[in-house]
Amino acid sequence: MLADGSRVRTRAIEPADRDALADGFARLSARSRYRRFLGPKHTLSARELTYLTEVDHVTHEAVVAFDETGDRMVGVARYAVWPGSDSAADLAVTVADDWHRRGLGSALTASVVGCARANGIRRLTGTILWENAAAAALMRRLGFRPVGSGDGALEFRLDLAPI
């Protein structure tokens, strides 16, 4: 149950979620896609869908949320370890436009941060556009701190203590 009383089902992403992810992406507004990919993004290629759904759940994890009926993917949070690193990863979060401001982004991000910690990830980073005040507030609420900026973007970092 989310902060606003809405209910979602969350779980780790699976390869079978490929169509649901593609459908969810297609329903995003151009602005939400721009914010997620830090630039224009009209479609997800077959290769991108494979990368985004066929994860190893250690160096690349994604937690998805479906609406209460289970018919529609309404959000996803993920981390992927940086190339050449075994303990630092990049974080990304996407929430369907009609699910903004319900607490879903916070819930998904907290869940994927917990997965990262359990998998031995020691640092998460996330890059957001300057104008995305809601994402900046989410990052700060979850303990991320700003560590850099440039080209209209802010970078945040969260150092994770091992469990």
pLDDT digits (tens, 9 = 90+) for 56-108: 999 999 999 999 988 899 999 999 999 999 899 999 999 999 999 999 999 99
Domain carrying residue 145: 8-159
Decide if 95 is inside a domain: yes
Alpha helix stretches (DSSP H) within the chain: 18-27, 30-37, 46-53, 104-118, 133-141
Which residues, listed in sequence order, are joined to residue 155 by a DSSP beta bridge? 127, 148
Tokens of 36: 């997620």
Tell me how many domains the chain contains. 1
Decide if 131 is inside a domain: yes
Name the pLDDT band for 163 (thresholds 50, 70, 90): low
Distance CA 138, CA 129 (A): 13
DSSP-derived secondary structure letter, 11:
E
Please write the tens of the pLDDT for every residue from 99-138: 999 999 999 999 999 999 999 999 999 999 999 999 999 9
Decide if 3 is inside a domain: no
Q: What is the CATH number of the domain that holds 97?
A: 3.40.630.30
pLDDT at 19: 98
Question: What order of strands is seen across the sheet that includes strand 8-12?
Answer: 8-12, 60-67, 73-81, 88-95, 123-129, 153-159, 145-150
Decide if 2 is inside a domain: no
Reported pTM? 0.94
Decide if 36 is inside a domain: yes
Decide if 57 is inside a domain: yes
